[in-house]
Structure 1
Amino acid sequence: MNKLLPIINFTFANKVKTKSFVVTTVIFALLLSIGIHVPYLIQMFSGNEGATSSQIGLVYGNQPEIAASLEAFIDKQPDGKIKLMKYEQANDQALMNDMENGTIKGYLEFGEAEGLQFPKVMYTSKKNSMDLTLQSTLQPALENVKMQYVTRGSSLTEEQIAAISAPVIIEELKAEQAAGTGSAAVANEGSKTAAVNYVIVYGLIVLFFMTNMMTGNMIAAEVTSEKSSRIMEILVTSVSPLTQMFGKILGMFLVGLLQIAIFIAVVAINLALPYNQASLAELNLDLSQMDLSILLVGLIFYILGYFLYATLYAAVGSIVSRTEDLGQAVMPITMLSLAAFYVAMFSLSSPNSLLLKVCSYIPFVSPVTILLRYGAGDATLLEVGLSLLVLIVAIVFFSWLAAKIYRTGVLLYGKRPTMKELRKAMKAYKI
């Protein structure tokens, strides 16, 4: 332990001072900031800042009742995204002038009604397509007005009309849940799979992938760099190769945590800006519905998964003598990390699939698949425990294997050793 701590401190302090670390961190922080501001920038350049409501012209002509119903429905909406400016007749020149000077962004016009058929609705503006925010507001409003128009003269109340026009939402529920403990079980399941829990699962999956790609490659590059510069020959005389390996892994883990903390701070600062608060509020994330057990399981598997991949990166880096050959050498580990990421991302909509159940017990992909099954699916604590046990056994085995490879590889120079040469050299050392 006395020799391990200096290695950890040296690795951490040495890496955070390098230009590559600073430049990479700044670039990722800028990309995150730009990505968060994309919706606002799109609105700003499209002329819809979102801070004020859009003024839309309404030419009612021969349909004053429909226009009045539409105006009444929109006025009742709490968000106030659009306002209507009524025109009795479609005076093309006057409407164009109002669009040119910004009084209105466009105008609605109703065609002739035939019998019970709702009249055709036309929207005219200077753009080729309707703004998505405007469309999402007008569509339900027109549906409601249409229902009132079609059922006019009947004895239906406004509440009944609203109930008829409301879309039907189908919730998925497994048979054993429905036949189990009734509504209490359904309520418990609903709280577990709340939107905020999906965000936690998604964030931890992305976090796991980013950590593997960044810190894993940094570990391999650090080992290869020291080996190619012959510093390794000096280091092994004072510190054992195994202490070096685990010291570098822990040091790089702290480097990765520092980067993650910086990125989280950048995201939090950008989301705290006033014009991003509205977009965040639309997500309807209720932190009171957060399941802390999902966060706990995710962090445990994130840390253990990191150490599994880190030992492999260190072992591969130790058998490469030139940094030019490092990319090709770590490619198999990178492919494993990509496989884990894509399996999880493409299974977000089906967390109880057979593929995920099998992958939950494969150590290289289990850190993200079991998290997805537990956070968004129906994995039990027993399944989580079995997956955790398999992962721990895999870490112990691959740490032992990586230690033997590292102990042998750091002092092998020249061409990359073959499997036969490496196996023969490994037999000479006892771990």
Structure 2
Amino acid sequence: MKQFFNVLSFELSNYFKNKGYLITTILISILLILGLSLPSLFDMSKLIPQLSSNNSEITENIEEKNESKDKTNYVIMDTNNIISDKSVLETAFPNSNWTIVNNKDEAENLIKSGDAKAGFIVESLNKYSYLVDNSGFTDTNQIIFENILSTLNQIEYAENNNLNIDELQSVINIPFESEISILGKDSASNFFYVYIFIFAMYMMILLYGQLIAVSVTSEKSNRAIEVLVTSASSNSLIFGKVIGAALASFLQVAIILGSGIISYTLNSKAWNGLLDGVFKIPSNILLTFIIFGSIGYLFYSFIFGALGALVSKTEDISSSIGPITMIFVIVFLISMFGLTNSDSLLIKIASFIPFSSSMTMLIRVALGTVSNIEIIISFIILLLSTILIAIGAAKIYRLGTLMYGNPIKLKNALKWFKKEKIS
């Protein structure tokens, strides 16, 4: 046990002395603290209107902003004078100028030359053409224009049938009063947390997993491993390396995440609750991330450590860890799919497979439906699998670290390990 703690402290000291590790952790934490403290130090209401508690100030800021914007030019061809009052167009399209043309070619030329953003050719109250040079995903011009035609249709119908237009519109556009009572999960709010946690887990495992593999291979390539195995057992070496990397990465994430949460908590009044949806993480999601994320991290880290021991040169690491990296990338893609299909059969199955349960069970807890017994079973499977992987990785590490030359294939290492009954 003493050997393990010696290796562990040595590995941790290497991370804590690493300038990249320290600079990244400290810099991100300071930026979060300063950024989240700005509303308490300065008046940010002009830059972020939501921080002002005075609604009139918000309205004034928005109006000033709208007035300062350059107006957008549109073109319309309405030879039948379907829209008799063209001022409704400027009302419906804020900050807009409208040019009236008499033929389609003129409208197209104005749009192609950039003098107009888009245009409409109106044939009747229920038929029109929309002209635009480049259509985008956020283009809402058609929706706005169709609302105008719909209103004109209602006015015409009311006039033809001697109806009061206000009464007609009050029936068509009934105002609703509603309250949302979420009895299960607030998937819309939880989506952001899950996405961030999965991405953080993905980066942690890939980055630190490769660092573990590189560390093992580097010691083997410069023959330092020959000295290490004489002063510490192979079990102490592999467990010290993996757990040291785990503690370093967990500490880094905890410092960054903690600095953000604490800073926002202290300055939440100044933020007027604007970032509550970001920093007020539900306890069940945070707990699931900590438990499943940490065990899943160890699961992959032991695999990376064992694979690093199978090669003698650092340039061979990529080919050695390639298969497990590919598996992990596939797991990540499945998890991304699960963000929009949390109760699909694929995600349910993946939540019980050790390679993917650390991510997919988090998705099911936050976004889907999962019973406590399923969570417990998944955790037991992941924990037992991690223990077995750790034992196997230690034995492969012992076999591989003292074997030099060409890279050792994993299947051959497993065969030798079984044949020689390495203990």
Instruction: Compute the TM-score of the two structures, normalised by the length of structure 1.
Output: 0.68
Q: Which one of the candidate residues 412, 420, 423 is aligned to 2:415?
A: 420
Q: Whole-Å Cα distance in 2 between the matches of residues 405 and 147 of structure 1? A: 73
Which residue number in structure 2 is paired with residue 38 of structure 1?
Answer: none
CA distance change for structure 1 residues 105 and 3 in 2, over 3 Å: closer, same or farther? Answer: farther
Q: Quick check: 1:158 aligned with 2:149?
A: no
Residue 386 of structure 2 corresponds to residue 395 of structure 1: yes
| Mapped partners of 2:187, 2:193: distance in 1 | 10
- 1:328 equivalent in structure 2: 319
For 1:196-345, what aligned pairs fall within 5 Å after superposition? 196-257=189-250, 286-287=277-278, 290-345=281-336
State the match for 1:139 in structure 2.
Answer: 142
SS of equivalent residue, structure 2 residue 230? coil
Q: 1:63 to 1:290 in 2, by over 3 A?
A: farther
**In the alignment, is residue 111 of structure 1 matched against residue 122 of structure 2?**
yes
1:2-41 to structure 2, matched below 5 A, reads 2-14=2-14
- Is the 1:344–1:368 Cα contact (8 Å) retained in structure 2? yes
Percent identical residues: 29
Where 1:340 maps in the other structure, the secondary structure is helix
Task: Give, in angstroms, the shift of residue 306 of structure 1.
Answer: 0.4
Alpha-carbon RMSD: 4.3
The reply on whether 1:67 has 2:67 as its aligned counterpart is no
Mark the CA change 1:59 to 1:13 in structure 2 (over 3 Å): closer, same or farther.
Answer: same
Moved more, 51-60 or 145-154: 51-60
1:53 deviation in Å?
A: 5.6
Q: Return the letter of the residue paired with 2:182.
A: A
Partner of residue 180, structure 1: none
SS at match of 1:151: helix
What are the superposed Cα offsets for residues 204-257 of structure 1, whole Å, 9 maximum, x if unpaired? 222222222221121111101101211011112222222221221123224545
- Asked if structure 2 preserves the Cα contact closer than 8 Å seen for 1:58 and 1:108, the reply is yes
Instruction: Give me the whole-angstrom Cα distance separating, in 1, the residues matched to 2:359 and 2:202.
Output: 9
Contact in 2 for aligned 1:194/1:290 (Cα 8 Å): no
**What displacement does 1:303 show?**
0.8
Cα 1:194–1:69, aligned 2, differ >3 Å: closer, same or farther? farther
The number of equivalent residue pairs is 354
CA offset digits 1:47-94 (Å, max 9, x no partner):
xx99836423465863454533333344xxxxxxx4122456669999
Task: Compute the displacement of 1:3 (Å).
Answer: 4.2
CA, structure 1 residues 253+97, in 2 after alignment: closer, same or farther (shift >3 Å)? Answer: same
3-state SS of the aligned residue for 1:120?
A: strand
Q: CA deviation at 1:408?
A: 2.8
Supply the distance in 2 between the matched residues of 1:221 and 1:365 (Cα, whole angstroms).
24
* Letter of the structure 2 residue corresponding to residue 10 of structure 1: F
The residue identity in structure 1 corresponding to 2:144 is: A
On the 8 A contact 1:71/1:84 being kept in 2, the answer is yes
Contact conserved, 2:351 with 2:360, CA < 8 A, in 1?
yes
Distance verdict in 2 for CA 1:395–1:235, change over 3 Å: same
Counterpart amino acid of residue 196 in structure 1: S
- C-alpha distance in 1, partners of 2:110/2:255? 50
Find out whether 1:376 has 2:364 as its counterpart. Answer: no
C-alpha distance in structure 1 between counterparts of 2:118 and 2:142, whole Å = 15
1:131 Cα offset (Å): 5.4
Separation of aligned partners in 1, 2:391 and 2:101: 83
> Which amino acid in the other structure matches residue 141 of structure 1?
I
Residue 217 of structure 2 contacts residue 308 of structure 2 at CA under 8 Å; is this kept in 1? yes
Cα distance in 2, alignment partners of residues 53 and 295 from structure 1: 45
Amino acid at match of 2:134: S
* C-alpha separation in 1, matches of 2:85 and 2:236: 79
Q: Assess if the C-alpha contact under 8 Å between 1:59 and 1:88 holds in 2.
A: yes
The amino acid that maps onto 1:294 is: I
Offset at residue 142 of structure 1 (A): 1.4
The answer on whether the counterparts of 1:405 and 1:426 sit within 8 Å (CA) in structure 2 is: no
Decide whether the 8 Å contact of 2:306 with 2:394 is kept in 1.
yes
- Which secondary structure state, in structure 2, belongs to the residue aligned with residue 413 of structure 1? coil
1:364–1:97 distance in 2 versus 1, CA, 3 Å:
closer
1:250 is paired with a residue of what secondary structure? Answer: helix
Q: Does 1:120 pair with 2:128?
A: yes
TM-score of the aligned structures, taking structure 2 as reference length: 0.69
Q: Aligned residue for 1:170?
A: none
Q: Secondary structure at the match of 1:320?
A: coil
Equivalent of residue 52 in structure 1, options 64, 69, 73: 69
SS of residue paired to 2:148? helix
Find out whether 1:407 has 2:398 as its counterpart: yes
Q: In the alignment, is the contact (CA less than 8 A) between 2:90 and 2:98 conserved in 1?
A: no
- Alpha-carbon distance in 2 for matches of 1:364, 1:251: 21
Q: What is the CA–CA distance in structure 1 between the aligned matches of 2:303 and 2:69, rounded to whole Å? A: 55
1:81-129, CA deviations, whole angstroms, 9 ceiling, x for partnerless residues? x4122456669999999998x9x7536454343xxx33525546xxx31
- Aligned partner of residue 350 in structure 1, secondary structure: coil
Q: Distance in 2 between matches of 1:323 and 1:409?
A: 14
Residue 215 of structure 2 aligns with an amino acid whose one-letter code is E
Secondary structure of 2:381's counterpart equals helix
**Unaligned regions of 5+ residues in structure 1, if any?**
30-48, 75-81, 167-182, 269-280
C-alpha deviations, 1:366-392, integer Å up to 9, x for none? Answer: 111211122111112221111111111
Aligned mates of 1:288, 1:227 — CA distance in 2: 44
Q: What is the letter of the counterpart of residue 150 of structure 1?
A: N
2:183 to 188, 197, 200: 188
